[in-house]
């Protein structure tokens, strides 16, 4: 059903949404219907568009490379699909009288999930069609985030960035190497952080280290940055 016309696609999605809604919450029938709906949305994800335009539900002109843009959209879509499936009552918020299923999906992506994904993956917020970088202005305010560790700019000197990298790379206490995703010894914070320093995308890192989802990688990384921020800050204060 990949060659459905726009009208046929809207009709198909409406049928699946209504099928899920007509079954009681918690029932196997609703789960089956939601599984079919999620599968169809995922299959047709490249056709999610703004009403009356043929543009993807993301801004056309952004300041980030296409690869990063693709990662953000992929994570936003993943979040959207999970929202539809869990909890199973979320589908009840769709009202056919207010628009097509695609319109409903576009609104969810635009107003919620694209913002969440851009913040999580890029350290930026998507507001009113524009990206806004999240940065800290002073080392004293340090609550290290992804941008501060991996992307030195005019507010983070190269020297500071090099010192942070050295701190993580040397890992004298072995804490960065021992912090890992599940039982995967390769997927540790040290390895992931160094690859981010090298400019690798979340997708590239996930594939190379055998991690199932890029959202898992980025979420783990963000948690580690917050966890180790005091130690990295102390290292910076001793060496800057």
Task: Give per-residue pLDDT as tens, 174-233.
Answer: 999 999 998 899 999 999 988 887 878 888 888 899 988 766 888 888 888 888 888 887
- pLDDT, greater one: 131 or 95: 95
pLDDT band at 70 (very low <50, low <70, confident <90, very high): confident
Instruction: Output the average pLDDT for the chain.
Output: 75
Task: Give per-residue pLDDT as tens, 201-216.
Answer: 888 888 899 988 766 8
**Using alpha carbons only, what angle is made at residue 98 by residues 97 and 100, rounded to the nearest 5 degrees?**
90
Query: pTM above the 0.85 mark?
Result: no
């Amino acid at each position: 059903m990949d060659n459905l016309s726009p009208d046929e696609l809207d009709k198909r999605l409406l049928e699946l949404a209504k099928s899920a809604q007509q079954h009681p919450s918690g029932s196997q029938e609703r789960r089956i219907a939601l599984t079919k709906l999620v599968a169809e949305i995922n299959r047709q994800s490249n056709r999610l568009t703004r009403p009356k335009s043929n543009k993807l539900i993301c801004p056309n002109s952004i300041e980030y490379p296409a690869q990063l843009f693709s990662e953000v959209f992929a994570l936003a879509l993943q979040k959207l699909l999970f929202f539809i499936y869990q909890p199973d009552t979320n589908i009840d918020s769709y009202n056919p009288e207010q628009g097509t299923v695609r319109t409903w999906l576009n609104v969810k992506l635009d107003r919620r999930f694209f913002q969440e994904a851009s913040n999580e993956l890029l350290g930026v917020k998507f507001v009113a069609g524009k990206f806004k970088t999240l940065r800290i202005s002073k080392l004293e305010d340090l609550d290290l985030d992804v941008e501060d560790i991996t992307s030195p700019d005019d507010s983070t000197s190269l020297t500071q960035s090099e010192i942070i990298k050295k701190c993580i790379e040397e890992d004298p206490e072995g804490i960065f190497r021992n912090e890992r995703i599940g039982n995967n010894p390769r997927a540790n914070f040290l390895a992931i952080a160094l690859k981010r320093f090298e400019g690798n995308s979340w997708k590239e890192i996930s594939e190379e280290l055998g991690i199932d989802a890029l959202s898992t990688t980025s979420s783990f990384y963000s948690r580690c940055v917050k966890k180790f921020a005091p130690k990295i800050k102390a290292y910076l204060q001793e060496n800057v």
